Structure 1
Amino acid sequence: MCGIVGYFGPAADEATLHRMNDCQQHRGPDGEGTFLEGQVGLAHRRLSIIDLAHGQQPLTTDDGRYTLSYNGEVYNYLELRAELEAAGRTFATDCDTEVVLQAFAQWGQEAFDRFNGMWGLAIWDAQEQRLTLSRDHFGIKPVYVAQVGDTWLFASEIKSILASGLYEKKPNDRSIYRYLRFRIHEDGRETFFAGIERLEPGEVMTIGAHGVDRHPYTRLREELAELATQQRVYDDAAAAEYKQRLSESIRLRLQSDVPVGTSLSGGLDSSAVAVIINKLLNDHDEGAAAVGARQNTFSAVFPGSLNDEEKYVDAVLDICQGQVNSHKIKPTADEFKVDLRDFIRTQEEPLISSGPYAQFQVMREATQHVTVLLDGQGADEMMAGYIPYYFVYLRQLRAQGNKAALAELSRSLDVIYRLGRFRLQAKLKGRKGIPATQLLGTAFARTHADEEFHTEGSNLKKRLIEDLFHNSLPSLLRYEDKNTMRFSLEGRVPFLDKEVVKFVFSLSDEAIIKDGWNKRVLRDATRGLLPEMINRRRNKIGFTTPQGEWFMRLKNHFYNIFLSETFANRPYFNQNEVLHAFEGWIKGTNDVDSMTFWRLLNVELWLQEFFDEQDDEPQDAEPHVKSDLEPNADKQLDLGTSLGETVRRYPLRTELVSRDDDLDARVLPQIDGFIETLMSDPDHSRGTAGKPWYFFISEKIIAITQGRSYFIWDINVGRPARVLSKYVTRTPAGIGLGSPFTMQLAIQEAGLPRVLYASAGGAVGKLIGRRGLFYDLVGGDIRAIDGPTEYSAYPSNVSAKLAPKDPDQVAARLSAAIRARLPEEYRDTFGGTIVMDANDIGRNVLGADVPTPWTRFEEMFADNPLGQGAEQTPMAAVFVLDGKS
């Protein structure tokens, strides 16, 4: 398996080619090569699988006419080679690459339909001055293209086109909308990058002096539709023939000069692959030589999770006992959080769910042991492996007037119930769904409101063909390619042998679904090979993660992303509605599923990764921990106020404060340590000696220790708060009453009548140009109520809080305790304690034991020198260097 890149046109050059090729080294760490001729450039990265000593690319025919850059495997290459040799062609290598090149030289584009395998390739015809791009029948291997002016770029990965420096990055809003609205992607040529397209399965593209042409090189889809009408009778002989064909497909895909393993999820498909390989080993079949004496299997398991399949994996391992080395990977939510950005970067475009992360982890482990990995992709889309196919088949039977529809329904009820049970439970508990469009930006949703997505609903095989080439399989194959190649692995999918697929479609529908059993032909073919608990298994889970459980564990992290300023400023999302929905999901009060939140998160993180400016600081760099005598980043120690004072502010770093902490026990040792540090530093001690000073403390940590800070999912938001918060502008940082949960706290603190009265006054104030009237009328310390802020340290990033209770008394108590333990030279100049509500928008003194007008202290914090996020500096010692005492 390899990676290809290239260009056709005047805008690119050799440097462009190297940039494009360098960023896909992971696809081919065993070698690289380039070819340049006029306005054409081809490059290649090689992962050596067959004929390790030869097959370097780009490869040119002896006459110099054709040059190939090729990514893939053609499994019938030995048969094709014999045919080509009979036609007079000669070969210098034993690899399939040369067969592909010679086949094109002999048959032109007709060669592609003769291939049985997977590929993405580029061939330059120097005589005709024509570039040909081709992708395999099912689209197992990718080819991306982009036109920039009069130059075309192509590559195995989108990142290579981005690295060219020629393409101007822009999101494809239509793809984003269809993904968020309909849960679809890869249903056509468009990608999530405007102007970058993919070749479709079975498509060929030519670029040259004649212009650009794209068309299918195969009639495979039409052939499948024609075969579907033949309805060959399904019987034991057909099942036996399918078993023979599938076994041969697997044997072909074991061809390798490097170690081959198996991805084993515990489901019917991957288990079938594993037990057939085991049989080949038992039979001492020479075709299984690359497997070795023992088959290496790789499985993701989730002990204790609802969707753990380890017992099914173990059942297969028992069958293979003595001839298997099992590798079990146990992905966790915490690992998912760490890997999330790498995973999104690897996939290049958003995914339907986090499920492929399990595959990501499996591939990371597998690359330590093998270079080729077989798995079961494609079986679901050709043999109705998903529950919705039952409904399609039942509608088909009913439309045919077939009395068998009722019988089939009665035998499928347990399967169908599994699809509807969660909806039924939600209705019984009174949970309501939220339309996807409600979570989207209003203008964005309006622009794309005419978009539609339809699927075949009453013809089973037509629906399967749709899903093989459009709706389902293309995205799964993309996940497979990206995850395997990220770790320099070749993934092979034996179910997607075109002759095997054609055979399945030639059989009657009863070979696919019968008596409530889907994948009937595969079940019959593997009876006696597979454990009964797998062969007769009704509940399909799939190769996925316990997403709901993980999201609940990581809710703080994900809430912070939804709360972020970047998320708020995207045109794609309605932040308030998303936050509301996520809070309801955490509480279990709505019927929104984790898939919805994943799509929102995935788009946001994808935009951050590929479109937002990236921090140049290495990701693994250790953060600097400031001393008490340093300012926070981008701040300064000294400030001249508008009142003529010069003050020096020392932000004091603390450990995170929780509601179980005693405030005095946290503050007093902090002051002790600061004074000791100050006195030991000659420059700072001289500069502050004899100067009046004050202790400032953030209202947040006081409120937290008083139990007046609440996780947002613990606040029971009423309808009045939901309505009123819509009329308050949410600040970029999430401060204030612009969210339902902070408004709910305001109602609880001041009472609904008072809040309504102040709201009416605030509306009038806006009309007459008087701002802040709401807070003047509502009274109390409502102004100090804050919602979660993305920059705050946990738990403030997922909490809303009231103002601290009795801040004057807190200040007086702290001042007394501080004076009692200060050395004399600092005790005599200590002025007292100020409880400060400070942020980058404004300052507000909530309490103090100092008689000075509080505006003076607010002036001292004009640039908000504190930091309550990663800085963890919610306290400060402030010295007045000159000016007022």
Structure 2
Amino acid sequence: MCGIVGYFGPAGTPQILQRMNDCQEHRGPDGAGTFADGPVALGHRRLSIIDVAHGQQPMSTADGRYVLSYNGEVYNYLELRTELEQLGRSFSTDSDTEVVLHAFAEWGTDAFDRFNGMWGLAIWDAQEQRLTLSRDHFGIKPVYVAQVGETLFFSSEIKSILATGVYDRRPNDRSIYRYLRFRIHEDGRETFFQGIERLEPGEYLSVDASGIQRGFYTRLREELAELATQQRPYDDAAAAEYKQRLTEAVRLRLQSEVPVGTSLSGGLDSSAVAVIINKLLNDGDATTKSVGAQQNTFSAVFPGSDNDEEKYVDAVLDICKGHVDSHKILPTADEFKVDLRDFIRTQEEPLISSGPYAQFQVMREATKHVTVLLDGQGADEMMAGYIPYYFVYLRQLRAQGATAAALELSKSLDVLYRLGRFKLKSKLKGNKSIPGERLLGDDFVTTYAAERYSVEGANLKKRLIEDLFIGSLPSLLRYEDKNTMRFSLEGRVPFLDKEVVKFIFSLSDEAIIKDGWNKRVLRDATRGLLPDLINRRRNKIGFTTPQSEWFMRLKNYFYNIFLSESFASRPYFDQTEVLHAFEGWIKGTNTLDSMTFWRLLNVELWLREFFDEQPDEADAEPRLKTDLEANADKQLDLTTASGASVRRYPLRTELVSRDDDLDARVNEHIDAFFAALEADPEHQAALAGKRWFFFISEKIVAITQGRSYFIWDINVGRSARILSKYVTRTPAGIGLGSPFTMQLAIQEVGLPRVLYASAGGAVGKAIGRRGLFYELVGNDIRAIDGPTEYSAYPSNVSAKLAPKDPDQVASRLSAAIRERAPQAYRDTFGGTVVMDANDIGRNVLGSDVKGDWTRFEEMFADNPLGQSTEQTPMAIVVEL
């Protein structure tokens, strides 16, 4: 397997080609090559599989007319080579690459329909000055194109086009909308990048001086539809023929000069591949040389999870005992969090769920042992592997007669129940239904309100064809290509042998679903090879993750993403509605599922990865400071508005929780500060004889008093949701612009007083008097804080009230400080100040110092503390 890049047109340069080729090194670490001729240039990265010693690319014919850059495998290349030799063609290598090259030289684009395999390729015809691109029948291997001015760029990965430096990267808002609204992607030429398209399955593109021509070299979709009308009777002979054809498809995909293994999920499809290989091993078949004496299998397992399929994996391993070496990978939520950026970068475009991360982990392990991996991709889309196909088939039967539909329904009830049980349970609990579009930005929804997406709902074979080429399989093949190639692996999919697919569609529908059993022909073909535990499985899981369990574990992390300024600034989301919905999902009070939130998260993280400016790694590291230094970008000294000079020493602390003893924590840091001062004569001199104060953030006082609440523990009422919409949100999320903080305000002073203050605030705005709301509402409501993106956990997912009795807290802390401070500094200690300070304003909430507190607020005019990575919620302040 390999990677191809190149261009046709005047904007291309050797430097651009090199950048394009370099950024897909993972697709082909075994070699690289380039070719240029006039307006065209081709690049190639090689992962050597067949004819390892030869087959370097770009490869040209002996006369130099045709030059090929090719990514893929054509499994019937030996048969084609014999035919081409009979036509007078001669070969100098044993590679399938050379067969592909000569086939095009002989037959042109008609050659592609003769191929049985997977590919994305580019061929330059120097005589006609024409570049031709092609993608395999099912789209197993990708080809991306982008027209930039008069130049066409192409590649196996989108990142290569981004690396040109001439493509103006912009998100495709239509694709984003259809993904968020309808859960679809990969359903046509458009990608999530405006101006970058993919070749569709079975499509070719030709470009020369006259322009671009696109078309399909195959009638495979039409052929399948025609075959579906034949309805060849299904019987034991048909099952036996299918078994023989599938076995041959597996044998063809064992052709390799490097080690071959199997991706084993425990489902029917991948298990079938594993046991067929095992039988070939037992039979001493020559093609198993690439497998070795032991078949390497790779499985993701999740002990204790509803998604775990380990017992099914073990059942296959028992069948293969003596000829199998099993590798089990145990992905975790914490690993998912660590890998998330790499995973999203690898996939290049958003995914429907986090499920392919299990495959990502499997491929990371597999690359340590093999270079080629077979799996069961594609079987679901040709043999009705998903539960919704039952409904399609039942509608089809109902149109043919009520009796047949009723009989099939009676045999399928247990399967259909599994689909509806969660919805039924949710309705019985009275959970609210939230339309997905309510989570999206109003203008965004309005712009794309005319978008629609419909699927075939009453003809089984038509629906399967639709999903093979549009609705389902294209995205799964993209996941597989990106995950395998990220770790320099070749993935092979024997179920997508085009002759095998044709055979299935020639059979009657009863070969696909009968008596409540889907994949009937595969079950019949593997009876005796597979244990009944798998052959008679009714529950479909597949390579996926326990997403809901993981999201609940990572809810703090994901909430922080939804809370972020970048998420709030996107035109795609309604942040307030998303936060409300996520809170409800955590509590189990709405019918939304983790898939909805994954799509929102995926778009946000994808935008950050591919469109937002990336911070330098050094900037991302927290700055650790001593107690005698200022925070980053802040100053120790300040001259206040009243002309006084002060020095502020921010004290770095560990994170504070409600279980902490505030007095003990303060005493610990007072002792540490004076110990540091003792070793620093310069700062000793600055403090000697000067009046000094202890400042403490109201946030940590409230936390230790138990007045901080996780947002999902706050029962937000309708009044809070309505009122919060009329409050201006600050960039940092401070104040009552959140339903959570407004609910706390209502609980603290009562709804009547909040309504009274709101009315007064509205009058105040009209007459130009600001802050009247907070004057009228009282009770330090202005100090209520919502979750803020940059705060340290748990403040990033919490809302809090003002501290209780801040004057008394200040007095108590001052008494302890006077006892602990060194004798030389006791008499000059002025007292404690409980401060609510941020970048927007300062407010002293309490102090044991008599007199006007305005001067203390002036001392924090530049907000010198920090409670995110700085973790400095306390300070010693000296009047110089």
Q: What is the TM-score with the length of structure 1 in the denominator?
A: 0.99
Cross-structure match for 1:664: 663
CA–CA separation in structure 1 for the residues paired with 2:466 and 2:707? 56
Cross-structure match for 2:647: 648
In 1, are the aligned partners of 2:3 and 2:155 still within 8 Å (CA)? yes
Following superposition, the deviation at residue 618 of structure 1 comes to 5.6
CA–CA separation in structure 1 for the residues paired with 2:507 and 2:721? 57
In 1, are the aligned partners of 2:35 and 2:58 still within 8 Å (CA)? yes
SS of the counterpart of 1:109? Answer: helix
In 1, are the aligned partners of 2:623 and 2:869 still within 8 Å (CA)? no
1:181-196 aligned at under 5 Å gives the runs 181-196=181-196
SS of the counterpart of 1:32? Answer: strand
In 2, are the aligned partners of 1:8 and 1:151 still within 8 Å (CA)? yes
CA–CA separation in structure 1 for the residues paired with 2:660 and 2:716? 27
Cross-structure match for 2:774: 775
CA–CA separation in structure 1 for the residues paired with 2:37 and 2:647? 67
Which amino acid in 2 is paired with 1:652? L
CA–CA separation in structure 2 for the residues paired with 1:618 and 1:826? 39
Deviating above 6 A after TM superposition, structure 1's stretches of 4 or more consecutive aligned residues are none
Following superposition, the deviation at residue 688 of structure 1 comes to 2.6
Deviations 1:423-467 (A, max 9, x none): 100100000121111000010011000000000000000000000
1:577-726 aligned at under 5 Å gives the runs 577-617=577-617, 623-726=622-725
SS of the counterpart of 1:586? Answer: helix
CA–CA separation in structure 2 for the residues paired with 1:852 and 1:168? 61
Which amino acid in 2 is paired with 1:589? T
Deviations 1:652-695 (A, max 9, x none): 11111111111001010101101110221122222332222111
Cross-structure match for 1:475: 475
Cross-structure match for 1:159: 159
Following superposition, the deviation at residue 720 of structure 1 comes to 1.3
CA–CA separation in structure 2 for the residues paired with 1:829 and 1:252? 87
Cross-structure match for 1:179: 179
Which amino acid in 2 is paired with 1:744? Q
In 1, are the aligned partners of 2:623 and 2:632 still within 8 Å (CA)? no
Cross-structure match for 2:81: 81
SS of the counterpart of 1:403? Answer: helix
CA–CA separation in structure 1 for the residues paired with 2:338 and 2:206? 42
Q: Does 1:368 align with 2:368?
A: yes
1:266-415 aligned at under 5 Å gives the runs 266-401=266-401, 403-415=403-415
Cross-structure match for 1:574: 574
SS of the counterpart of 1:414? Answer: helix
Which amino acid in 1 is paired with 2:652? R
CA–CA separation in structure 2 for the residues paired with 1:190 and 1:321? 46
SS of the counterpart of 2:98? Answer: helix
Q: Does 1:226 align with 2:226?
A: yes
Following superposition, the deviation at residue 287 of structure 1 comes to 1.0
Which amino acid in 1 is paired with 2:314? D
Q: 1:785 to 1:623 in 2, by over 3 A?
A: closer
CA–CA separation in structure 1 for the residues paired with 2:3 and 2:842? 56
CA–CA separation in structure 2 for the residues paired with 1:104 and 1:622? 54
Cross-structure match for 2:52: 52
CA–CA separation in structure 1 for the residues paired with 2:502 and 2:822? 89
Identity of aligned residues (%): 82
Gaps of 5+ in 1: none
Following superposition, the deviation at residue 12 of structure 1 comes to 1.2
In 2, are the aligned partners of 1:568 and 1:732 still within 8 Å (CA)? no
Cross-structure match for 2:756: 757
1:230-269 aligned at under 5 Å gives the runs 230-269=230-269
CA–CA separation in structure 2 for the residues paired with 1:467 and 1:250? 23
Deviation larger for 370-379 or 639-648: 639-648
CA–CA separation in structure 1 for the residues paired with 2:565 and 2:288? 55
CA–CA separation in structure 2 for the residues paired with 1:808 and 1:826? 23
Following superposition, the deviation at residue 848 of structure 1 comes to 0.7
SS of the counterpart of 2:277? Answer: helix
Q: 1:202 to 1:618 in 2, by over 3 A?
A: farther
Which amino acid in 2 is paired with 1:245? R
Following superposition, the deviation at residue 125 of structure 1 comes to 0.6
Following superposition, the deviation at residue 19 of structure 1 comes to 0.5
CA–CA separation in structure 2 for the residues paired with 1:878 and 1:706? 24
Cross-structure match for 1:500: 500
CA–CA separation in structure 2 for the residues paired with 1:598 and 1:307? 17
Which amino acid in 2 is paired with 1:224? L
Cross-structure match for 2:550: 550
Which amino acid in 2 is paired with 1:283? D
Deviations 1:255-286 (A, max 9, x none): 00000000000000000000000000000000
Cross-structure match for 1:877: 876
Q: Does 1:784 align with 2:772?
A: no
Deviations 1:164-209 (A, max 9, x none): 0010010000000000000000000000000000000000000101
Cross-structure match for 1:116: 116
Cross-structure match for 2:828: 829
SS of the counterpart of 2:669? Answer: helix
CA–CA separation in structure 1 for the residues paired with 2:618 and 2:127? 48
SS of the counterpart of 1:344? Answer: helix
Cross-structure match for 1:855: 854
Following superposition, the deviation at residue 402 of structure 1 comes to 5.2
Cross-structure match for 1:793: 792
Q: What is the TM-score with the length of structure 2 in the denominator?
A: 0.99
CA RMSD of aligned residues (A): 0.9
CA–CA separation in structure 2 for the residues paired with 1:353 and 1:726? 31
Which amino acid in 1 is paired with 2:720? A
Cross-structure match for 1:735: 734
SS of the counterpart of 1:820? Answer: helix
Following superposition, the deviation at residue 731 of structure 1 comes to 1.6
CA–CA separation in structure 1 for the residues paired with 2:720 and 2:124? 66
Following superposition, the deviation at residue 37 of structure 1 comes to 1.1
CA–CA separation in structure 2 for the residues paired with 1:335 and 1:553? 12
Cross-structure match for 1:867: 866
In 1, are the aligned partners of 2:622 and 2:870 still within 8 Å (CA)? no
Which amino acid in 2 is paired with 1:552? M
The total of aligned residue pairs comes to 880
Cross-structure match for 1:416: 416
Cross-structure match for 1:561: 561
Cross-structure match for 2:535: 535
Which amino acid in 2 is paired with 1:225? A
In 1, are the aligned partners of 2:810 and 2:832 still within 8 Å (CA)? yes
CA–CA separation in structure 2 for the residues paired with 1:764 and 1:413? 63
Deviation larger for 157-166 or 674-683: 674-683
Q: Does 1:146 align with 2:146?
A: yes
Following superposition, the deviation at residue 622 of structure 1 comes to 5.6
Cross-structure match for 1:444: 444
Cross-structure match for 1:805: 804
SS of the counterpart of 1:35? Answer: strand
Which amino acid in 2 is paired with 1:705? T
Following superposition, the deviation at residue 768 of structure 1 comes to 2.1
CA–CA separation in structure 1 for the residues paired with 2:566 and 2:633? 21
CA–CA separation in structure 1 for the residues paired with 2:199 and 2:254? 27
In 1, are the aligned partners of 2:280 and 2:288 still within 8 Å (CA)? yes
Cross-structure match for 1:96: 96
CA–CA separation in structure 2 for the residues paired with 1:399 and 1:766? 65
Following superposition, the deviation at residue 401 of structure 1 comes to 2.3
Which amino acid in 2 is paired with 1:256? S
Gaps of 5+ in 2: none
SS of the counterpart of 2:137? Answer: coil
CA–CA separation in structure 1 for the residues paired with 2:405 and 2:609? 50
CA–CA separation in structure 2 for the residues paired with 1:635 and 1:261? 57
Deviation larger for 477-486 or 36-45: 36-45
CA–CA separation in structure 2 for the residues paired with 1:173 and 1:115? 36
SS of the counterpart of 2:617? Answer: coil
